[in-house]
Chain A
């Protein structure tokens, strides 16, 4: 039987994710300073009442930049996970229901795409189209498709082998109807888990890409780029790297915890042994 209460991991993860979402929303209406406002005299300051997290090498307010940076993180995550869900899920269900050559070809295709991790694909896209948020989202989304296709297919195979689907077929239910009434509801839990895991990976990939200077171009602040800009000051002023680093780590952890919590909550058997 399913647990009726969410696990602590789920609650903590949900809280972190909600906090980041709230941060990104808040930044549209209010930031302590203009995140792009250069203020040379106030450069490389530690935390103060005025600048809660201090300032960077150009005197820009770190807190404001972190707040605004959450937007890119969430935007890239939402869009790339969206691309992956919308392409991967139907393909996986189709493969799992049709079997045969359809399954063989799509799954081999997924295997090959798996040899291209999100970051590698994003670097290739940056080489072709130049660094941009759009090419980052497209690359990360595309690279996440096989994950969803595999999860959806595995779940579909499980459901299609269940006797209740045989019963539905014996009752003359059409494939589309079986997919909608039996398959999709029964694999939604797995897909949700995959969503949060993929989101965490997208956050990581985006941060790495920005760190390499191939993500969202300046001046828009992003956490990865803030890390890159801090490179010269790692020895002398580590706070400049600390805050964006913490932001990235907590976002990744939030989505990971959310995924684990969902796993334990929705399917205790699946989650057995996960922290």
Chain B
């Protein structure tokens, strides 16, 4: 089991390494010299060269990559070419906001999807099951930012129950923090729960056809008892996979939701950096978002090893 987890860790580190290379190649090599971009179109070569020296972009690319990469390791993203400020403290600040949003949304999505999907599977040939399945089909089609717009127009602007947008740190005003969190979390969780319902439903339906569930029934367990005692843990395995895949969708979904609700998270930081052509900041934020995705994948891989003894055994070479 430990061997397996060590393997997961090794793969995670390799993926992270590859991701830094990919991000660096895309953001730093493709667009050309940031000094030229920062200096503007009419700048003289001397000005550009001066900026390049200042930014360090006159050095060979591998050196620049190593510089950036070793900085990442220490949590130092460098200084923005545009705003000339340190990127790291900003990122550290905003990442908390985004993580709160994303984690709560995933928790809510799972809290809705697991029971709803299970009911939809158990009652798959009854009206209630069909209604849940149809609702999830509808829900999948409504992107998070659209749901956000609907929620804002109705609950905030029409009814005035909740603030339409903004953000307050929990330490400052906890009630206000919660109030501003409700709509964006629902908007983010909505699509996710619709997607997850489908996967939970099909995973549960799948195990309902398994031989070991028939065995459980042959032992004298009730249909529900058999499902709870033997089915759900088995059904959890494919759902785990989907959850890890959907987490990356949720993170990118949060970028858009932050725009809808004017929340100062990584998404807003990313979008304003794109607007300013502040490529080093874009590069840093993208790297953080990708790293979060990879960490979640790692956690899910480790969870697998804990849930499924077969995977544990595969690493031990049978018995």
Main SS at interface, chain B: helix
Nearest CB to that of B137 among chain A residues? A275
Does A91 make an interface contact (CB < 8 A)?
A: no
Q: Given A127-B279, A128-B30, does the pair A256, B141 have CB atoms closer than 8 Å?
A: yes
Q: Produce 1/0 per residue, B156-170, CB < 8 A to A.
A: 111000001000000
Residues in A115-132 with C-beta less than 8 Å from chain B: 115-117, 119-120, 123-124, 126-129
Q: Produce 1/0 per residue, B135-172, CB < 8 A to A.
A: 01110111101100110110011100000100000000
Q: Given A126-B274, A227-B149, does the pair A273, B205 have CB atoms closer than 8 Å?
A: yes
Could you tell me if B141 and A212 are in contact, using CB atoms closer than 8 angstroms? Answer: no
Does B133 make an interface contact (CB < 8 A)?
A: yes
Q: What is the bound-complex CA distance between A253 and B252, given in angstroms?
A: 20
Nearest CB to that of A274 among chain B residues? B202
Could you tell me if A274 and B26 are in contact, using CB atoms closer than 8 angstroms? Answer: no
Q: Produce 1/0 per residue, A221-265, CB < 8 A to B.
A: 000000100110011101001000100111011001100100000
Tell me the total A-B contact number using a CB cutoff of 8 A: 133
Could you tell me if B248 and A234 are in contact, using CB atoms closer than 8 angstroms? Answer: no
Min CB gap B235→A, angstroms:
11
Could you tell me if A252 and B143 are in contact, using CB atoms closer than 8 angstroms? Answer: yes
Question: Which A residues lie within 8 Å of B252 (CB)?
Answer: 117, 119-120
Partner of A124, one of B26, B140, B142, B164: B26
Nearest CB to that of B275 among chain A residues? A213
Could you tell me if B150 and A273 are in contact, using CB atoms closer than 8 angstroms? Answer: no
Q: What is the bound-complex CA distance between A248 and B150, given in angstroms?
A: 14
Question: Which A residues lie within 8 Å of B124 (CB)?
Answer: 273
Min CB gap B207→A, angstroms:
10
Min CB gap B94→A, angstroms:
16
Q: Given A252-B140, A273-B124, does the pair A112, B202 have CB atoms closer than 8 Å?
A: no
Residues in B41-74 with C-beta less than 8 Å from chain A: none
Partner of B198, one of A116, A214, A241, A274: A274
Could you tell me if B201 and A119 are in contact, using CB atoms closer than 8 angstroms? Answer: no
Residue among B149, B255, B289 having the largest count of chain A Cβ atoms under 10 Å: B149
Count class of interface residues, chain B: 35 or more
Could you tell me if B136 and A275 are in contact, using CB atoms closer than 8 angstroms? Answer: yes
Question: Which B residues lie within 8 Å of A119 (CB)?
Answer: 252, 255-256
Min CB gap B160→A, angstroms:
10
Partner of A120, one of B30, B202, B277, B286: B286
Q: Given A128-B279, A235-B158, A253-B137, does the pair A208, B30 have CB atoms closer than 8 Å?
A: no
Q: What is the bound-complex CA distance between A113 and B294, given in angstroms?
A: 11
Could you tell me if A273 and B121 are in contact, using CB atoms closer than 8 angstroms? Answer: yes
Q: What is the bound-complex CA distance between A250 and B209, given in angstroms?
A: 33
Does B249 make an interface contact (CB < 8 A)?
A: yes
Min CB gap A249→B, angstroms:
4
Nearest CB to that of A204 among chain B residues? B143
Q: Given A235-B158, A256-B137, does the pair A275, B201 have CB atoms closer than 8 Å?
A: yes
Could you tell me if A249 and B142 are in contact, using CB atoms closer than 8 angstroms? Answer: yes
Min CB gap A19→B, angstroms:
15
A sample of 6 more A-B contacts (CB under 8 A), given A235-B158, A241-B149, is A115-B297, A235-B156, A249-B142, A256-B137, A273-B202, A275-B201
A/B interface sample: 27 pairs, CB < 8 A: A108-B15, A109-B18, A115-B297, A123-B274, A123-B286, A124-B26, A124-B282, A126-B274, A127-B274, A128-B279, A208-B256, A227-B149, A245-B146, A245-B150, A249-B142, A253-B140, A253-B141, A256-B137, A257-B137, A272-B209, A273-B203, A275-B133, A275-B134, A275-B136, A275-B137, A275-B198, A275-B201
